[in-house]
Chain A
Amino acid sequence: MNKHYDIPLLLEGIPHATMILDDSFCVVHMNRLMEAITGYTREDVTGIHGELVVRSNAGNSKGQLYSKVLKTGKAESVAGDLINRSRRKIPIQYTVSALDGIDGSRCGLLVVAEDTSATDAENQQGILSSETTELIGYSPKMQEVFNLVPLMAHTDASVMITGETGTGKDKIAEIIHKSSSRARYPFIKVNCGALPSGLLESELFGHVKGAFTGATRNKPGMFELANKGTLFLTEIGDMPLPLQVKLLSVLDDNAFLPVGGEQKLEVDVRVIAATHRPLREQIRKQEFREDLFYRLHVLYLHLPPLRERGEDVRYLVDYFFKKFTSSLGKSIVGFTPEAMETLLQYNYPGNIRELKNIVEFSVNMCKDKHIDKDVLPSYIFEPQKIAEEPPGGDQRKQEKTETIPRYSEETRTDDKDSWEEIERSMIIDKLKEFGGNRTKSAAALGWGRMKLWRKMKHYKLS
């Protein structure tokens, strides 16, 4: 086959993670999408049994699927998932087909692992579907956003998304990617604020073996893995200045040098960036490069905070209410008028994320048919006392728009703390009550041990 076709080039033309195995099921070739989904480079795993690389749960743990296809010559397709090297579980459609050589003898297998996370998320019911790409918004400001998304999807220009925390920047970025011609290729998200400079550089651009202590093998960077797809750089305002220079050069040249590397790699990646920071102010303080700002700011999208989205709050409350009652198997009918009024009046400094948490909290805590005001987290009543006078029809909305936009960063932080503080103190109370017994504390909170452990870790209680 090799004599007639350029196999690696052929594989790169397939829009899914694909590899070719020989007749003993060992890896011969794999495309970049397969490298991206498994986390292994071709050179690392050439000659290794395909299932040790893909690690699916598609009933192929002993290579049964491979044997069947090789024997019968009939393609098989099974839905399942894989766990990659980054410890992520990814839903896949696993398709195995037989390959025949020129002489007609069976010479190997073509294995395709189609990432079905997007379609699975759409079909999934329950709590997890809140992580999908759906967006709800009927307010004029959101309609403006929705009108812009298709336009942004039809171009390859860089996009800058701004908006407060919890407004859905990640989801919009994913929607733009899924609606674009790059949808079949990877959408990779990198949080620029989560890693120190050195690690972020290696994460973005990859490194070659021996580039630094501990670099025991070549590691492809996110730019390489996102080839032909979209790289979403969230919290771009937190990116260290030296890296901003390197990012600018990649955006200009579509090529970069991996850390410690000598050969430039060419990539075709669309960049979407997002931040909640005021970038122009950062430019004035010389914390963000002006040239990079203009390079990324070709298209611009601002997501309005929830407090400016009027009746969207009601739709979102209804949406999350239905979602959590059905996933938690609760038979709650709805909110009492007082509780709903409180939710409509609250100004949500944490935006949709906070609203979702409040609804989840209320649905979990409610023991009656209706969620009453006293079930809502107590902290949401505190800032209202300062921000608003007693409501009176439209006047309420007027007051909201007048007072709330002046919300300071400090107030927001306090509110976030108080939300988390409630959960934290609930955990501490239960642990005290049960003398530190985690199994009993978790049961009393209605959680599994693993969830309690996660929460304790989050609140640094371990």
Chain B
Amino acid sequence: MEKLLIPVQGDFVAQRFDLATEIIIAEFDKNIGKLTSEPKTIIMERASDDELCQMIVDLNITDVICGGIEELHYNFLTWKKVTVYDSIIANWQTAMEKAVDGTLQSGEIIPLAKGGQLDT
């Protein structure tokens, strides 16, 4: 069973890992490529990349989808055996679906994001 974490902003994957305060967590089974539970939302007290890294480790997250992330935190997470899909520009739900079915790649710009608004 895999556990996915996405820092989000509105409908989008948050543009920066270190500035996100809203987090989506979902469990999925990569063998069948489907979510096994409803995604949950967590609101953080304040934005902090270090605390977010700690949360990822504490919650045994296996996959992270994010926008911009600093090298330091990226390396930390990959060292912790977390799969990090970074530099994603996308609607978070679409990105999550692609990660669950194993087709998401780092740096991916999903066309639905084009023309989208951030203040939704």
Q: Is A88 an interface residue (CB 8 A)?
A: yes
Interface residues of B in 63-120 (CB under 8 A from A): 67-72, 74-76, 79, 86-87, 89, 105, 107, 109, 113-119
Q: Is A406 an interface residue (CB 8 A)?
A: no
Chain B interface: which of A7-15, A56-64, A356-364, A384-392? Answer: A56-64
Q: Is A243 an interface residue (CB 8 A)?
A: no
> Given the complex of chains A and B, what is the CA–CA distance between A447 and B80 in angstroms?
19
Interface residues of A in 191-228 (CB under 8 A from B): 216-217
> Given the complex of chains A and B, what is the CA–CA distance between A55 and B67 in angstroms?
8
Q: Are A48 and B114 in touch, CB under 8 angstroms?
A: yes
Say whether, besides A62-B9, A216-B105, A87 and B68 are in contact (CB < 8 Å): yes
Instruction: Give chain A residues whose Cβ lies under 8 Å from the Cβ of B70.
Output: 83, 87-89
Instruction: Give chain B residues whose Cβ lies under 8 Å from the Cβ of A89.
Output: 70
Task: Look across to chain B and name the residue whose beta carbon is closest to the beta carbon of A47.
Answer: B114
Task: Look across to chain B and name the residue whose beta carbon is closest to the beta carbon of A453.
Answer: B76
Give the bracket for the number of chain B residues in contact with chain A.
20 to 34
> Given the complex of chains A and B, what is the CA–CA distance between A36 and B14 in angstroms?
22
Instruction: Give chain B residues whose Cβ lies under 8 Å from the Cβ of A84.
Output: 68
Instruction: Give chain B residues whose Cβ lies under 8 Å from the Cβ of A48.
Output: 89, 109, 113-116
Q: Is A184 an interface residue (CB 8 A)?
A: no
> Given the complex of chains A and B, what is the CA–CA distance between A417 and B119 in angstroms?
54
Most buried by B among A44, A62, A87, A457: A87
Q: Are B116 and A49 in touch, CB under 8 angstroms?
A: yes
> Given the complex of chains A and B, what is the CA–CA distance between A67 and B119 in angstroms?
10
Instruction: Give chain B residues whose Cβ lies under 8 Å from the Cβ of A153.
Output: none
Number of A-B contacts (CB under 8 A): 85
Task: Look across to chain B and name the residue whose beta carbon is closest to the beta carbon of A85.
Answer: B87
Map CB proximity to B onto A245-271 as digits: 1 under 8 Å, 0 otherwise: 000000000000000000000000000
Say whether, besides A47-B114, A48-B89, A48-B114, A57 and B107 are in contact (CB < 8 Å): no
Say whether, besides A49-B117, A49-B118, A87-B69, A453 and B86 are in contact (CB < 8 Å): no
Q: Is A130 an interface residue (CB 8 A)?
A: no
> Given the complex of chains A and B, what is the CA–CA distance between A98 and B107 in angstroms?
30
Q: Are B9 and A55 in touch, CB under 8 angstroms?
A: no
> Given the complex of chains A and B, what is the CA–CA distance between A83 and B119 in angstroms?
21
Q: Are B117 and A52 in touch, CB under 8 angstroms?
A: no
Instruction: Give chain B residues whose Cβ lies under 8 Å from the Cβ of A82.
Output: 68
Q: Are A450 and B115 in touch, CB under 8 angstroms?
A: no
A25, A45, A62, A86: the one contacting B109 at CB < 8 Å is A45
Closest CB-CB distance, A199 to chain B, in whole Å?
16
> Given the complex of chains A and B, what is the CA–CA distance between A24 and B109 in angstroms?
18
Closest CB-CB distance, A281 to chain B, in whole Å?
36
Instruction: Give chain A residues whose Cβ lies under 8 Å from the Cβ of B107.
Output: 85, 217
> Given the complex of chains A and B, what is the CA–CA distance between A44 and B88 in angstroms?
12
Q: Is B50 an interface residue (CB 8 A)?
A: yes
> Given the complex of chains A and B, what is the CA–CA distance between A239 and B9 in angstroms?
44
Task: Look across to chain B and name the residue whose beta carbon is closest to the beta carbon of A66.
Answer: B118
Q: Are A24 and B117 in touch, CB under 8 angstroms?
A: yes
A24, A63, A86, A462: the one contacting B115 at CB < 8 Å is A24
Say whether, besides A61-B9, A82-B68, A88-B71, A51 and B86 are in contact (CB < 8 Å): no
Give the top 7 A-B pairs by smallest Cβ distance, nearest first. Answer: A83-B68, A87-B71, A47-B114, A55-B68, A55-B15, A62-B119, A63-B118
**Chain B positions near chain A (C-beta within 8 angstroms):** 9-10, 12, 14-19, 50, 53, 67-72, 74-76, 79, 86-87, 89, 105, 107, 109, 113-119
What are 6 pairs between A and B in contact, CB < 8 Å? A55-B68, A62-B10, A64-B119, A67-B119, A83-B18, A217-B107
